[in-house]
């Protein structure tokens, strides 16, 4: 029995060690990217999908605009990550004529609007409000999905900020917008089999000059990869959970065999039997 206890103790310690390694991978808090904090934050926004300003995870971006403008930013989100976008709009101090409703939308690389799992992407600001804050937490990005599904896939994610309802007299008033997007790694519990051949990043590049000297046609800003590059699609901490389960099953089988096989000594047979 002492041997059995020792085996069970070893199994418990081994399982706890492996699960402890896997634990940090499922943290649900978005942490700013170290490289993003060392770069200059963008101070303008695009006015369409094709001219969206590229940002990185954890990198704040600001823009001065007029009420009624459409403001666009774009960032990379990889498989297994959950993105949270926050926007703060500082409203003009000049007297406004009524309340205004602002909206934050997020689109994937196929320009499909993605629903927010958490947050308040639409909010009304009172006539005398100095600012309005919006937030949107997307579903976890999947490495692969069925063609008919609307699951979020790795690649470009476009953030659009605009006002959707206000008095006509308030159109054109100056506003200041601040947007920041963070990503949190959800770990192997969200992993799926399969992966895309390439992330959804349509038309990444810069403005292309025309041969006749005309104004260059706008194209999206060059997209940066996530820290560490795009996911290979096969590794996740599910491997650690699988290994821990296999080890515990093997040790449990050995312990069970040791208990059921008895002492191993032949039973005594009464004389004359």
* pLDDT tens-place string over residues 2-49: 454 555 555 555 555 544 444 444 344 444 544 444 568 899 999 999
| CA dist., res. 142 & res. 152, Å (int) | 6
Biggest CA pair distance of the chain: 116
The per-residue pLDDT for range 106-129, each reduced to its tens digit, is 999 889 999 999 999 999 999 999
Mean pLDDT value across residues 206-229: 52
Show the CA angle centred on residue 91, arms to residues 86 and 97, nearest 5°.
130
| CA dist., res. 211 & res. 231, Å (int) | 39
Q: Which of 171, 261, 17, 268 is nearest to 9 (CA)?
A: 17
| CA dist., res. 44 & res. 59, Å (int) | 13
The per-residue pLDDT for range 131-183, each reduced to its tens digit, is 999 999 999 998 887 777 888 889 999 999 999 999 999 999 999 999 999 99
Tell whether pTM > 0.75: no
């Amino acid at each position: 029995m002492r041997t059995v206890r020792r085996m069970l103790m070893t199994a418990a310690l081994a399982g706890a060690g492996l699960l402890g390694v896997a634990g940090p991978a499922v943290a649900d808090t978005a942490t700013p990217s170290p490289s993003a904090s060392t770069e200059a934050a963008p101070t303008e926004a695009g006015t369409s999908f094709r001219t969206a300003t590229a940002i990185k995870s954890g990198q704040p971006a600001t823009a001065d605009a007029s009420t009624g403008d459409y403001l666009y930013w774009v960032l990379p989100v990889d498989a297994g990550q959950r993105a949270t976008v926050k926007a703060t709009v500082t409203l003009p101090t000049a007297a406004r004529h009524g309340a205004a409703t602002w909206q934050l939308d997020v689109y994937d690389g196929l320009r499909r609007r993605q629903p927010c799992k958490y947050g308040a992407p639409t909010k009304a600001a009172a006539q005398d409000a100095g600012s309005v804050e919006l937030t949107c937490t997307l579903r976890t990005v999947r490495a692969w999905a069925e063609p008919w599904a609307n699951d979020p896939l790795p690649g470009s994610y476009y953030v659009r900020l605009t006002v959707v309802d206000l008095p006509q007299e308030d159109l054109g008033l100056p506003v200041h917008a601040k947007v920041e997007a963070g990503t949190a790694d959800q770990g192997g519990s969200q992993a799926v089999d399969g992966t895309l051949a390439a992330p959804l990043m349509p038309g990444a590049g810069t403005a292309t000059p025309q041969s006749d000297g005309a104004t260059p046609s706008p194209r999206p800003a060059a997209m940066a990869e996530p820290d560490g590059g795009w996911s290979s699609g096969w590794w996740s901490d599910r491997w650690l959970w699988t290994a821990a389960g296999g080890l515990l099953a093997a040790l449990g089988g050995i312990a069970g065999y040791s208990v059921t096989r008895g002492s191993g000594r032949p039973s005594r047979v009464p004389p004359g039997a």
